[in-house]
Structure 1
Amino acid sequence: MVQNKSTFKAFRVEEKDGNYISSIKDMEFKPLAKNEILIKVHNSSLNYKDALSATGNKGVTRNYPHTPGIDAAGIIEKSNSESLQVGDKVIVTSYDLGMNTDGGFAEYIQVPSEWAVKLPEKMTMKEAMIFGTAGLTAGMSVLRLTELIKPEDGKIAVSGATGGVGALSVSILSKLGYHVVAITGKEMERDYLINLGAKEIVLRNEFEELDKKPLLNPMFVGAIDTVGGAILENIIKSLAPIGVVTCCGNVASPKLDLTVFPFILRGITLIGIDSQNYPMNYRTKVWGRLAHDWKPELLNDSCNEIKLEDIQDKIELMLQGKLKGRTILKLIEL
């Protein structure tokens, strides 16, 4: 198992005279620090945050040269950890991976052992990367919501329903028997959302324009919000008494223009989801559920595989909004 090479290949982004240039580079291995592990990466995935990192977005990555890739799955080849051993299959997502720590667009990653989750049985490394950070975030949102709301309680709203987190949330919730109302700005994706399991479709512009009263007629008992802003405001105001909403995104706006009335008069609960630093006990539980009863039946049909040298072309397509589905990086032939 232990690698005996002196170098490995990585998709490297360098800053030169204000421009960001990417290429495949040979990288040298570094000594392992205490509690670090060296992972032979089998699969990674392309995310929007990776595309930003690869094009010099300093809000994602401060220093260059850098290797993007916020998701990785592979096998441990060296370990200075007591909890993880050589040969263990692991998943690494979020924390600082691919942001200011070299990420999964490489044949090897070297990370603190506490960042790694053992790959569950009945889940392949490719499947783990189809889920990736988006799947983990969706799973955390579903887990926290279902702790308090049951299918028989009523309707569940999911905003940003065609996005990575939203689509997986719709799929998982419907599989668990919930009546899902998908909120989307993409009317042409109605059939796609119905196929995922949504029972009703609400267009985003209609939902954003609801009455500005501090409380609205109850429409849902729970919700998973991925966009923030006016959508989250109206979801909160539209929840039935003791309703629950999780929030994990702010693409619409990070601000909320609300009174405390939904929280005091209806007992609403707002749960924030931070997949980047979420506690390990929740991570382990979520990955276990994604491997079993939460796994979509056609999961492997929702992706296309690429090699290391294909990444730059896919990044450009992603930034142009022309990339559909999940793009999985395959780094080793099994």
Structure 2
Amino acid sequence: MFKAIVIDKPDDVQTVTLTDIGQEQLPEGDILVDVAYSTLNYKDALALTGSAPIIRKFPLTPGIDFSGVVSESAHPDFKTGDRVVLTGWGVGEKHSGGLAEKARVNGDWLVKLPDGLSLRQAMVIGTAGYTAMLCVLALEAHGITPDSGEVVVTGAAGGVGSVATALLADQGYQVAGVTGRPEEDVYLEALGASSIVPREELEGKVRPLAKERWAAGIDVVGSTMLANLLSAIKYRGVVAACGLAGGMDLPTSVAPFILRGVTLAGVDSVMCPINERVAAWERLAQDLDMSKLSNMETEVAFDQVIETAPKFLQGQVRGRLVVPINPDLETA
């Protein structure tokens, strides 16, 4: 028996408990992982609070990412003792995830932890940081360099935004961090933001074209903020969009695309091909200043995850929420 958070929906009423389950209750998969760390992400908070239909089947353990050590493997690419990280693939949505002491998954979903990254660092980075790296890679693929000009990051004090700000600054970019919380200015400057943009500047009525301000952007919000961002991107600039915290709509026009040649690059981290995942994790291990991770993380005890989830949806969370499940695996 081992501990797991289980979401169920008997009689159409959602229940969430931290309880003991057996391995026979885990889903099918060719690898069993002892989980060292997981995290609390926006999607996990939606699932735990029942605020959105994230969970596709019941009962199920949430947790869209985890790091850990392989304890059993029937997959040719992994062996017992391998240190691994998992993000996405519907884990924590339709396949039980990382908020448990053990997880059984498909080995094709796993990435071996790059040299130099600890199990804890992997989850301070987690889904949010890996997504941020995919966004940076998308900007690079469209020709954006530090010489192109300032890059704007929305939701800069959140998980994706924090890592994106640090990554870009570490690569020599000038970074404008957008936040609606003035108390986070010092935090963002410590991550490397060269300027702070009040959120309200991007929340007003959308104009087809606004004054050109930024060479590129990384957006986690969507809706009106993304539309305003697109209208203020310089000629032949790029915006990597990876989130919808502000809504799924996009109240813009074709003007930024056909008059300024702006590119809107969609970034999906859930079903991203394995070769791109490996490349992203290798770049994170190489490019991210690990000393900045301590500024980004807040530790949430396993038995406090359920009560912490609503705070995420109330905008009370900064950076990354890391959940130690079995941290002793780090030195095992």
Deviation at 1:284, TM superposition (A): 0.8
| Residues 1:329 and 2:323 are matched in the alignment | yes
Code of the aligned partner of 1:39: V
**What is the 5 A alignment of 1:283-322?**
283-319=277-313, 321-322=315-316
**What is the 5 A alignment of 1:1-334?**
7-17=1-11, 18-29=13-24, 36-57=30-51, 59-147=53-141, 148-209=143-204, 212=207, 214-319=208-313, 321-332=315-326, 333=328, 334=331
Q: Percent identity?
A: 37
Question: What is the TM-score of this pair, normalised by structure 2?
Answer: 0.90
Summarize the Cα distance change of 1:305–1:227 in structure 2 as closer, same or farther, 3 Å threshold. closer
Question: What is the TM-score of this pair, normalised by structure 1?
Answer: 0.90
Deviation at 1:89, TM superposition (A): 1.0
Q: 1-side partners of 2:307 and 2:25: how far apart?
A: 29
User: How many positions carry a matched residue from both structures?
Assistant: 326
Q: 1-side partners of 2:245 and 2:50: how far apart?
A: 20
Larger helix fraction of residues: 2
Deviation at 1:331, TM superposition (A): 2.4
Contact map agreement 1:246 1:272 (CA 8 A) in 2: yes
Q: 2-side partners of 1:87 and 1:24: how far apart?
A: 26
Code of the aligned partner of 2:249: K
Q: 2-side partners of 1:245 and 1:172: how far apart?
A: 16
**Unaligned 5+ runs, structure 1:** 1-6
Deviation at 1:323, TM superposition (A): 4.6
Contact map agreement 1:13 1:23 (CA 8 A) in 2: no
Deviation at 1:317, TM superposition (A): 4.4
Q: 1-side partners of 2:115 and 2:222: how far apart?
A: 35
Specify which structure has the bigger relative contact order, considering alpha-carbon pairs within 8 angstroms and separated by 6 or more residues: 2
Summarize the Cα distance change of 1:40–1:80 in structure 2 as closer, same or farther, 3 Å threshold. same
Code of the aligned partner of 1:23: L
Q: After superposition, give the CA deviation of every residue in 1:49-73 in whole Å (9 maximum; x if it has no partner).
A: 2232223356100332221111111
Q: After superposition, give the CA deviation of every residue in 1:102-129 in whole Å (9 maximum; x if it has no partner).
A: 1111111111111101100000011011
298-307 or 249-258, larger mean C-alpha shift: 298-307
Q: 1-side partners of 2:298 and 2:203: how far apart?
A: 34
Q: 2-side partners of 1:322 and 1:245: how far apart?
A: 26
Code of the aligned partner of 2:17: S
Q: 2-side partners of 1:301 and 1:154: how far apart?
A: 26
Contact map agreement 1:171 1:296 (CA 8 A) in 2: no
248-257 or 146-155, larger mean C-alpha shift: 248-257
Q: 2-side partners of 1:258 and 1:11: how far apart?
A: 41
Q: 2-side partners of 1:52 and 1:120: how far apart?
A: 30
Deviation at 1:32, TM superposition (A): 8.8
Structure with higher Rg: it is 1
Summarize the Cα distance change of 1:132–1:166 in structure 2 as closer, same or farther, 3 Å threshold. same
293-302 or 125-134, larger mean C-alpha shift: 293-302
Deviation at 1:221, TM superposition (A): 1.2
